[in-house]
Chains A and B, each alone.
Chain A
């Protein structure tokens, strides 16, 4: 708790106590007589009087009373005596013979001094409460000062000793109200700053490399210009040498031609180097279109099940879970081609075996149907571009002869292999590289 909050709290409590006291004082009505009670008593006395069994003085409803009748000779004296003693005086009314009300006398009700005693008692209670509250608050304040100011100093002392002992691991227990901790913690901030600086350096390095790469790519343009100019010069000089020129000039020109040829050759070399550097990779990127990535082998299962429209595909053993190099889109196409070939030409059950060769890091998928297979002579050709089997039924089936060719291309691009042979039917073995 902040000092400010405490001041506010104290003020509120004191104000509340003050208001409560004022309220109690205001509420305690001095000399207020309970009129209802008096009326009740008076009416009862009246009734009793008429019944004829009321005494001239006595007690009724806890109040002692005295009746002063108009006919009494000491009526005035009784009345004034009552007024002097601040006693309650009320009319005693009777019904006269003609039905009209008439005043018979007064009822004087004697009050005791109990109000004063009550007031005194209330005052004592209030004062005791107020003092108690103030005392409680003082204790609270002292306690607060002890915990917020004196104790942290003790902690600081212990901390200083630890530091003196060389124990820098020891953290200063921090508290919101403690302002000393900032000094020790700034050292950690320094380490943080160093780490940041190192990170910045690393970033700068990366961007530098990128810049070099970009620049080298741009070099190709000026090299091309140099080559063009070399060729132009060569042709121009060759034309000159064809004409009749003096011997020395001719030798100079032929020497120049030779030098230009060297420049041209060197420019070629630069061009080739740059091409090797970037073109190769660029071409590779563009031409392959096969994005080999590391994929969980489990993706293969869904490639088969997606194709399994006739319920003919059966896995003969479980797929070993591992990471493989593949382009799941392309591998899917390969499997798609093989399975649809089988549907087209054999239309039998298809069995699948998986085999993981850990030492060779190769996952083999054997896909086998039980159809007629391929003509053994044509077997080596099935993966060639535009090759289609010569059988009549094959020729009658629509197809382009590209399926297995593409499969081979893709498999090669993925670093894998494809092998086709007959074994109780047509069998394809896909070899996939394992990471």
Chain B
């Protein structure tokens, strides 16, 4: 096959360009394949995982006082299949610390179950079991192993107020419902029978509860089942009492996958950026290739090759590169699969298995092949218009009769600077391309750094995005709330208190309805975190602010009037604002206390957010409150600490993604500059040779290349970094749009922008110096001859 021969010959000639392309394609493949394979398999993976242990479709944790009524409610719902109830112990204000890994204590509620109870639903399959179950053995969620590095045999210290006890980790379990604390801020822990019974007898650690798991007929209808249940349960238990939690499979499934979905979406968009860069490189190298080989093309055409065949040879060339790049990328993707497994597992809290997914392979191959071939076809298509005669006439001549912008006899610049600028102006096309790529990458760098900064260093913006208050302590009063709250507000060390409640409301508009976690407080302007993105927060009793997801579900807009149904009372509210939040899957609403009183005239605010003054120890404060009021009247927990812990589980994944992105950006910048400058040196070898003959030293010529290249690099890096400064938040918002995020307020540290600009410029400088250093080795005569390469 002659075409193949021509193609391989072309590849051999342009080694650097080929290598660059192969690497770009390989990187794009890694991202694309990983992204597609994780995204496409996540859904069925979670379903299979759940089916493995016959995972519950709905879980309700209650105080055990209404077991029979609850059972009746279940049976009254059509989709009900069967259920299991077991004894558990609920510890609302517990905190845990792994003594062996030396981590800080996490405040998180926990429900304890008996490992030895026989159960059909959500069977426990222990991963890494201890050889022998110790007496104080505990089985903990798998996420603690992958995300926090817990090991079997570690000592887990549990503290509730003043009391503390130690467990020994005896294994890990997987359960979608309690897969990750980012999803449900609660640990489900299994204890051995003996330990469990002893534990139940110690009320200081928590209270007895009923843990009810339900299997329904339709695994896809669990959310409807849950709303039905919530509606009914409110009739027997008023808001905030007795019922600790109800979790449905559907909600948990979406919740579990949300974060990894975002990461994968970032990977996919990154792979698109790389493909775009590959496209630019292909366009560039094809044009150079055609210009350099115009005579060969003419000869081939004269010999009787049709333009279709010549075009075919170029396409085959890129097809070969794509094939090689894809294989390399696929191999690399499989090679780094432990890392991916870790990222995915730690995000979803279930043991993810990375394998070879034929569909994902085909899909990514398809995308890459179509992209590469499409671009190479369009950039090479101009061959069609070249007749053998024009081709043989030493190619297409380019002339430059432009104005001489830097006449050497008048310029104030030094000779080398002037020459550098002349070359800069002359090579404007390549410079534009290189500049564009660097700009894009500089932008992505700022984006990555800012994401990392806001996820890991300063989490305020992230917390705001999630839509939670930054109160250190949350107190729920069971009685005498007005009095107690006033007392707490007056306590030393308390900076501020806000009464903030929330309930699951059902919002209706026309004939549609949607549930939303509705917050209630008297004055939204007092909140520390403003989640409003459009309009304003409610002020009057007939006003409501709703997240865009809920609004979209309802088909409503700002200015429309929606109604909230609460225990049979329906009230109308005017939508005055749009809020955004990440938690509760972006389903939220906000009304005023006055508005809530219209729904429930007897409404009392039972929840108090406490903001401590700077330097106050949260744990000590919680203990102090508990001592003062006792757990009968109050439930206290360290609110902010639990949010932080939830964020920590993301941190590792973000770190890996950001580091990877930065590394790849560096590689691409180096390769692109390498390519651009090398091609330039090859193209201009005659001019460089003559310059050397005329008496220019190698350093002067390197300096000229530097002067002609650096303004573009620095300019592009600066422009890209500044663009990153402005574009990061809109870009993030765009990426999170599916989660109802309309705008982001990530803090873009100017020093990060400056750092990016400087870093990329330095990287460019070093690359240019190294590549241009080649000039030194070449003697002027050699440069006249062809074989420099």
Chains A, B in direct contact (C-beta < 8 Å): yes
Main secondary structure of the interface of A (DSSP, over half): helix
State which of B35-43, B476-484, B535-543, B700-708 sits at the interface with chain A.
B535-543
Q: Mark A276-304, 1 if CB is under 8 A from B, else 0.
A: 00000000000000000000000000000
Q: Closest approach, in angstroms, between the C-beta of A199 and any C-beta of chain B? A: 15
- Most chain B Cβ neighbours within 10 Å, of A36, A182, A188: A36
B393–A188 touching, CB < 8 Å = yes
> Given contacts A182-B390, A186-B389, A189-B389, are A36 and B558 in contact (CB under 8 A)?
yes
Are B540 and A36 interface neighbours, CB within 8 A?
no
B396 sits at the interface (CB 8 A): yes
Q: Which of B393, B397, B401, B559 contacts A36 (CB 8 A)?
A: B559
Name the contact of A174 in the complex, choosing from B392, B399, B536 (C-beta under 8 A).
B399
Let me know if B574 is at the binding interface, CB within 8 A.
Answer: yes
Q: Could you tell me if B576 and A185 are in contact, using CB atoms closer than 8 angstroms?
A: no
A1-46 interface with B by 8 A CB criterion: 32, 34-36, 39-40, 43
Indicate which residue in A43, A175, A189 contacts B393 across the interface (CB closer than 8 Å).
Answer: A189
* A173 and chain B: residue at smallest CB distance: B399
* Nearest residue, chain A, Cβ from B557: A35
A358 at the interface (CB under 8 A from B): no
* Complex contact A176–B393 (CB within 8 A): no
State how many angstroms separate the Cβ of B392 from the closest Cβ of chain A. Answer: 6
Q: Assess whether A181 is interfacial by the CB under 8 Å rule.
A: yes
A36 touches B576 (CB 8 A): yes
Residue of B nearest to A32 (CB): B559
What 0/1 readout, one digit per residue, does chain A (35-64) give for beta carbons within 8 Å of chain B? 110011001000000000000000000000
Q: Which of A185-243 contact B (CB under 8 A)?
A: 185-186, 188-189, 192
Q: A34-B559, A36-B559, A173-B399 given as contacts; is B393 within 8 A of A185 (CB)?
A: yes
Assembled-state Cα–Cα distance A32/B539 (Å): 22
> How many Å lie between the Cα of A326 and that of B542 in the bound state?
108
Residues of chain A contacted by B387 (CB below 8 angstroms): 182
Which of B390, B392, B393 counts the most chain A CB atoms within 10 A?
Answer: B393
Give B483 Cβ to nearest chain A Cβ, in Å. Answer: 25
| CA of A35 to CA of B556, assembled, Å | 14
B399 touches A39 (CB 8 A): no
A35 and B540 CA atoms in complex are apart in Å by 13
Question: Could you tell me if B399 and A182 are in contact, using CB atoms closer than 8 angstroms?
Answer: no
Q: Check A176/B396 contact, CB under 8 A, given A39-B574, A182-B390.
A: yes
Write out the residue numbers on chain B whose beta carbons fall within 8 Å of the beta carbon of A185.
Answer: 389, 393
Instruction: Tell me the B379-433 residues at the A interface (CB within 8 Å).
Output: 387, 389-390, 392-393, 396-397, 399, 401
Which residue of the partner chain A has the closest CB to B389? A182
CB distance from A196 to the nearest CB of B (A): 12
Contact between chains at B399 and A175 (CB < 8 Å): yes
How far in angstroms is the closest Cβ of chain B from A93? 9
Q: Give complex CA distance A27, B288 in Å.
A: 47
Chain A neighbourhood of B540, CB < 8 A: 39-40, 43
B392 in contact with A189 (CB, 8 Å): yes
How many whole Å from B447's CB to the nearest CB in chain A?
27
What band does the interface of chain B fall in when counting residues whose beta carbon is under 8 Å from A?
Answer: 20 to 34
CB-defined contacts of B536 to chain A, threshold 8 Å: 36
Q: Which residue of B lies closest to A188 (CB)?
A: B393
Question: Which partner residue on chain B sits nearest A189 by CB separation?
Answer: B392
Task: Kindly supply a per-residue 1/0 record for chain B positions 550-579, scoring 1 wherever the CB is within 8 Å of any chain A CB and 0 otherwise.
Answer: 000000001100000000000000101100
Q: Contact between B397 and A39 (Cβ–Cβ < 8 Å)?
A: no
Expressed in whole angstroms, the minimum distance between the Cβ of B154 and any Cβ of chain A is 55
Q: How far is the CA of A37 from the CA of B536 in the complex (A)?
A: 11
What is the distance, in angstroms, from A298's C-beta to the closest C-beta of chain B?
19
Q: Are B389 and A36 in contact (CB under 8 A)?
A: no
A182 partner residues in chain B, CB cutoff 8 A: 387, 389-390, 393
A40-B539, A189-B393 known; A35 and B574 CB under 8 Å?
A: yes
B residues near A175, Cβ cutoff 8 Å: 399
Q: Which of these, B393, B401, B558, B559, contacts A181 with CB under 8 Å?
A: B393
Q: Give the residues in chain A near B389, CB-CB below 8 Å.
A: 182, 185-186, 189
Query: Given known contacts A173-B399, A174-B399, is B390 in contact with A35 (CB within 8 Å)?
Result: no
A35 to chain B: closest residue by CB: B559
Shortest CB distance B540–A (Å): 4
Query: How far does the Cβ of A129 sit from chain B's closest Cβ, in whole Å?
Result: 25
Q: Give Cα A1–Cα B142 distance, bound, in whole angstroms.
A: 61
List B contacts of A40 (CB < 8 A): 539-540
Per-residue CB proximity of A162-180 to B under 8 Å, as 1/0? 0000000000011110000
Query: Once the chains are docked, how many angstroms separate the CA of A422 from the CA of B480?
Result: 126
Nearest CB on B from A148, distance (A): 15
Interface residues of A in 84-100 (CB under 8 A from B): none
Q: Within the assembled complex, what's the spacing in Å between the Cα atoms of A364 and B401? A: 63
**Chain B nearest CB: distance from A1 CB in Å?**
13
Q: For B395, give the chain A residue with the smallest CB separation.
A: A174
> Are B542 and A174 in contact, with the CB atoms below 8 A?
no
**Which positions 384-404 of chain A face chain B at CB distance < 8 Å?**
none
Whole-angstrom distance between the alpha carbons of A87 and B494 in the complex?
50
> CA of A185 to CA of B399 in the docked complex: distance in angstroms?
16
Give bound CA distance, A8 to B766, whole Å: 41
Closest chain-A Cβ to B185's Cβ sits at a distance in Å of 34
Q: Chain A residues near B401 (CB, 8 Å)?
A: 173
With both chains docked as a complex, state the minimum distance between the C-beta of B272 and any C-beta of chain A, in angstroms: 22
For A39, list chain B residues within 8 Å (CB): 540, 542-543, 574, 576
Distance of A40 Cα from B577 Cα, bound (Å)? 13
Q: Report B-chain residues with C-beta under 8 Å of the C-beta of A188.
A: 393
Select which of A36, A173, A189 is within 8 A of B535 by beta carbon.
A36
- Pick the residue among A32, A43, A174 that contacts B396 (CB under 8 A): A174
Closest chain A CB from B579 CB (angstroms)? 14
What separation, in Å, do the CA atoms of A32 and B396 have in the docked complex? 62
Residues from chain B with Cβ under 8 Å of A189 in the complex: 389, 392-393
A181 to B392 CA separation, bound complex (whole angstroms): 12
Residue in B closest to A93 when the chains form the complex, CB atoms = B542
Chain A residue contacts of B397, Cβ below 8 A:
173-174
CB distance from A411 to the nearest CB of B (A): 37
Chain A residue numbers with a CB within 8 Å of B396 are: 174, 176
A181 cross-chain contacts in B, Cβ below 8 A: 393
Q: What is the CA–CA distance of A186 and B389 in the complex, to the nearest angstrom? A: 8
Chain B residues with Cβ below 8 Å from A32 are: 559
Q: Find the residue from B535, B542, B543, B559 having the highest chain A CB count within 10 A.
A: B559
- Shortest Cβ distance from A46 into B: residue: B540
Residues of B contacting A186 in the complex (Cβ-Cβ under 8 angstroms): 389
Give Cα distance in the complex from A176 to B385, angstroms.
11
Query: How near does chain A come to B576, taking the closest CB pair, in angstroms?
Result: 4
Shortest Cβ distance from residue B695 to the other chain A in the assembled complex, whole angstroms: 27
CA distance A182 to B536 in the complex (A): 71
Provide the bound-state CA to CA distance between A182 and B392, in Å.
10
| C-alpha gap A43/B592 in the complex (Å) | 14
Binary interface encoding of chain B residues 706-721 relative to chain A, with 1 for a CB under 8 A from any of its CBs, else 0 = 0000000000000000
- Per the 8 Å Cβ criterion, residues 518-537 of B in contact with A are 535-536
Nearest CB of B to A18, in Å:
25
Shortest Cβ gap from A15 to chain B (Å): 21
Chain B 343-400 interface residues, beta-carbon cutoff 8 Å to A: 387, 389-390, 392-393, 396-397, 399
Contacts of B392 in A (CB 8 A): 189, 192
Residues of A within 8 A of B574 (CB): 35-36, 39
- Which A-chain residue is minimally distant from B560 (CB atoms)? A35
Beyond contacts A40-B540, A185-B393, A188-B393: 15 other A-B pairs, Cβ-Cβ < 8 A, are A32-B559, A34-B559, A35-B559, A39-B540, A39-B542, A39-B574, A39-B576, A40-B539, A173-B401, A174-B399, A176-B396, A182-B390, A185-B389, A189-B392, A192-B392
Pairs across A and B, CB under 8 Å, 30 listed: A32-B559, A34-B559, A35-B574, A36-B535, A36-B543, A36-B576, A36-B577, A39-B540, A39-B543, A39-B576, A40-B539, A40-B540, A43-B540, A43-B542, A173-B397, A173-B399, A173-B401, A174-B396, A174-B397, A174-B399, A176-B396, A181-B393, A182-B387, A182-B390, A182-B393, A185-B393, A186-B389, A188-B393, A189-B392, A192-B392
Contacts from A to B (Cβ < 8 Å): 32, 34-36, 39-40, 43, 173-176, 181-182, 185-186, 188-189, 192
